[in-house]
Amino acid sequence: MQTKGRSRHFIYTDWILIETQFDPEQLHSKETVFTIGNGYLGTRGSFEEGYPHALPATFIHGVYDDVPVVYTELVNCPDWLPLIVIVNGDRFRLDQGEILSYDRQLDLRQGLLIRALRWRSPSGNTIDISFERFASLADPHVLALRCHVTPVDFEGLIEIQASINGYPENQGFNHWEELDQGKINQGIWLQRRTRASRIELGMAAKMTILGTEAPLQVNTAPGYPSLSTTFLAKTQQTVTVEKLVTVFTSRDIETPVSAAQEKLTHLSDYATLLKAQRQAWDEVWQQSDILIEGDSTATFAVRYNLFQLLIAAPRHDDKVSIPAKTLSGFGYRGHIFWDTEIFIQPLFLFTQPAIARNLLSYRWHTLPGARRKAAHYGYKGAMFAWESADSGDEVTPRWAIGSDFYGEDVRIWCRDREIHINADIPYAIWNYWQATGDDEWMQSYGAEAILDAAIFWGSRVEFNSEQDRYEIRGVIGADEYHEFVHNNAFTNRMAQWHLEKAIAVYDWLAHKFPERATELEQKLKLTPEERSHWQDIIAKILFFYDPLTELIEQCEGFFQLEDINLADYEPRDRSMQPILGIEKTNKCQVLKQPDVLMLLYLMRESADFPYNEKALQTNWDYYAPRTDITYGSSLGPAVQAILASDLGKSTAAYEQFMQALMVDLEDNRGNTNDGIHGASAGGIWQAVIFGFGGIQLTKNGPVANPHLPPGWTRLKFKLHWRGKWHDFDLHQGQVAQDITRQLEFLQLSLSPDPPNSHSQVSEHQTSPPASPASPASPAPSSSSLPATHNPNIQGFIFDLDGVLTDTAELHYLAWQKLADEEGIPFNREANEALRGVSRRASLMLILRDRPYSEAQIEEMMERKNRYYVELLQKMTPEDLLPGAIALLDELRQAGIKIGIGSGSKNARPVLEQLGIMDKVDAIADGYSVQEPKPAPDLFLYAAKQLGIKPEQSVVVEDAAAGVEAALAAGMWAVGLGPVERVGAAHIVLPSLAGIKWADLREQLSNISRQKQ
């Protein structure tokens, strides 16, 4: 896949994604990234006012329709977003006029998308416009949008038009027939029906204007009903527009139009709906959140990937499932793959099992389609579609049109040959049953799917009488680079595993629900001879495996294929298949995604054959170097991250994890415009929980054997198992976290600070080790020194601002701009008081006793940070202060570890802009600890990351608060700047220019001797 290497203009906080600049070239991929939804529908992050060539879309679960002859696809539903602002005759659009400031935020905690900008019209009128929208999680049929407009430098007419666009397209095809539309007392409505599937949709909308007198007019242009108003706007006067929308389909209710109208009539105002939205999301995050400390990027990005799956998960419908691209894009036409069962479902299985049950019930509802597919190919039982839509019939396109207009179309063989999905779905059903103990669902739904799919295998295998073995020939395995192979290890072993479990399910059913067993025997024509046949297949299926080395051959003859070295093709920006060509790739030992390793992963939890540690190591060594992990399938990196973690390959595990984690945020495969990589997002959850958290499922419940990545100081999450919640709070170096009360008591009793007898500790919570932010011994006074005659210095911790680079000037300029906008006096002299002070504390010093609400304070902090980041993006290595690089290089050559201790949340971007990330061993930034300087927490955290003791650390600071923090941590302090500011440091220097490590070491030794 072609990739694009350019800035995404993103800032990540713990919960909020911030886009700082609009880039038209990234329009479509950003529309995907800023998708919102509520489990009923998803709406791409398109602009309310529109943009040329945009791809706005709202997808509703289960609303499929046919493109005649070609394919079935999830339908783009009528667009509820349109809100047009016209300023003195100039229509607001980002491709016209001038963008003076821009900020777009996706708030994961609330499911809220916000965009704020300042725009100058072609006529020269400047206006502040902000948009805010959400799809209600509290009521899936409700959508809400709010807009604020504030003229900055003019008075004039502003017109607002709020519409429903009844002409949505699926990239050139409109699936909707016009039925009716009209107006009601409070708004407008639209009625549409899909052309082939005959699904009816009703949508209604109303608009409210706050802040001025503005009468509404209704325009019912065909297919585009609108509400509009015009008012005289005054300078600095804010007018608010609220647009509320309701939507139903005939899948939900018999009369969707009247349902939409009725709900709209009784709908609360925007503020009330937003409050309900926050409460609903709070409940979801209580179950599903993952807390990571020590890695600010992962903290946000893990939550982002979870969010994209949470908004795509059907909460109230068991006849739909999550498409491969979720509800966020046109990729794969909204079809459902094995991605859902193997990669996505585990998140819900262990956090919201009712949703996991819905996803699996969908497969039961599609059994008729699976039976039709089996019969079409001449087999018995149920043959699940490789790509499924509403009915379960195969919807994989037979042909793909190539990019070369004169080239041949490409045959898509997955529909015929990639049959391992027939075992993947039973695998997910079995795991649901094991994790929930839901016998009622299993006997009513799951058992039938497992047994009927097993009947398929009985008819699909071929008996090789010469070898007295069963074969499965002519398939595509999990590795899709090889399109016609025999006895693929993944397929054969999964089929064998499936038959083993089918026999177990039948025996359980016959024992516990004999009437249901008899019913299924008759319905499926399941005879004793069939079950005996399954036993024979289990015993005799071919599996190419060396019992001495435990190396598994991916498929028959794989080891005889041409072996190539992927490194010989670097650098590259696309997958190996287009480089080699389809035929050449088929003849080489190069993989699209891990096939044998994927098998080992699925057998890992239960330690079923062929999984064991030796087999994993042997097959990793062989197959990992042959896997096109960077540009092949997005399904691979998360799985390899887990297995690498099992093998103790922490660097490789983290690299693969980050590759999966940032696939959409960084668009590192160049195809985010098609939609979210749902399987990768689900794999991320598994990598964190099963990989880094080391969760193993025992008969008594989940047990954690954590091996956190370097830098992660804490990992906290909860899992639902057999009707109970299990809380895990994991830390670096922590012993295995068991679920038994005896071990919990032992762990608590050994804790440095055990809870008192009145404390309530969760059943599966271990008390964490003493935090580096709270040392057990009292902090030394500012006059204390590390107790040693000859300091054994092992590491240096540098502040950023005023030490390695002069970002203090950028902070000053950002604060100055904010102060000017707010009309607050501020100058360089006042800025001196802000050195080493947190953002909030700095703002409070600037505001003094001026009254501002907490919301206004939060907004000003974000605004100042936005200004700072804009300035920061212009930094280069030339902005390093004199002497910085020379000292860093000298310390590294001397074997001294180097850390950064900066209270800024932008420390990492600064280091990247300066080009010195490779010179730093650890970073402690504004995300790392709660208490800012002068508390010692930040430097203690940095020392722990470096693996050194406080007394072995030297802190280099330019602020009094930083020096005080270093001394409180029991570290050596080097102060840069005037004595009146940093005179409490052990050594005071004007700057780093000309400073040598040998000179510093000698001075510190002299000071130590003098103090003894």
In the beta sheet, which residues pair with residue 150?
128
3-state secondary structure of 58: strand
Report the run of H or E that residue 433 belongs to, with start and end.
Answer: helix 421-436
**If you ran DSSP here, which 8-state letter would residue 879 be given?**
G
Residues 6+ away with beta carbon under 8 Å from 906 = 11, 865, 868, 869, 872, 925, 926
d(CA 233, CA 156): 5
DSSP 8-state assignment for residue 950: G
Rounded-to-10 torsion of CA 338, 342, 343, 347: 130
Q: How many CA atoms lie less than 13 Å away from 340 in the CB half-sphere?
A: 31
Sheet-wide strand order for 126-135? 10-12, 16-19, 98-107, 112-120, 126-135, 142-151, 239-249, 200-210, 187-194, 176-184
d(CA 934, CA 520): 71
Give the Cα separation of 810 and 864 in Å (integer).
Answer: 11
End-to-end Cα, the chain, rounded Å: 65
424, amino acid identity: D
d(CA 671, CA 677): 9
Q: Which two tokens stand for residue 4?
A: 């694009």
Catalytic positions, please?
A: 480
Rounded Cα gap, residues 95 and 99, in angstroms: 9
Please state, in angstroms and rounded to a whole number, the distance separating the CA atoms of residues 461 and 422. Answer: 13
Place of tokens 């800024």: 904
d(CA 998, CA 1001): 5
Cα(924)–Cα(601) distance, rounded to whole angstroms? 34
How many whole angstroms from its chain centre is CA 903? 26
In angstroms, rounded to a whole number, what is the distance separating the alpha carbons of residues 383 and 368? 10
- Cα–Cα distance for residue pair 784/935, rounded to 1 Å: 15
Continuous segment of H or E residues that includes residue 499: helix 489-512
DSSP run (H or E) holding 130: strand 126-135
171 contact partners, CB below 8 Å, separation of at least 6: 55, 330
Query: Coil, strand, or helix at residue 540?
Result: helix
How many residues are listed for the chain in this entry? 1012
**Cα separations in angstroms, 81 against 144, 530, 657:** 9, 56, 35
**How far is residue 188's CA from residue 245's CA, in Å, rounded to a whole number?**
10
SS (H, E, C) 407-465: CCCEECCHHHHCCCHHHHHHHHHHHHHHHHCCHHHHHHHHHHHHHHHHHHHHHHCEEEC
Cα 875 to Cα 915: distance, rounded to the nearest angstrom: 10
CA nearest 280: which of 186, 147, 144, 148?
Answer: 144
Phi, psi torsion values for 539, nearest 5 degrees: -75, -25
Q: What is the longest distance spanned by two Cα atoms in the chain?
A: 94
Query: What count of other Cβ atoms lies within 10 Å of the Cβ of residue 700?
Result: 11
Nearest residue to 59 (alpha-carbon basis) of 322, 328, 392: 328
- Residue 390 per-residue DSSP state: S
In the numeric block, which tokens belong to residue 585? 């790739």
Structure tokens at 601: 């992963």
Euclidean distance between CA atoms 141 and 203, whole angstroms: 9
**Cβ atoms of residues 610 and 599 within 8 Å:** yes
Q: Which alpha helices (DSSP H) does 311-389 contain, by range?
A: 345-349, 353-365, 367-376
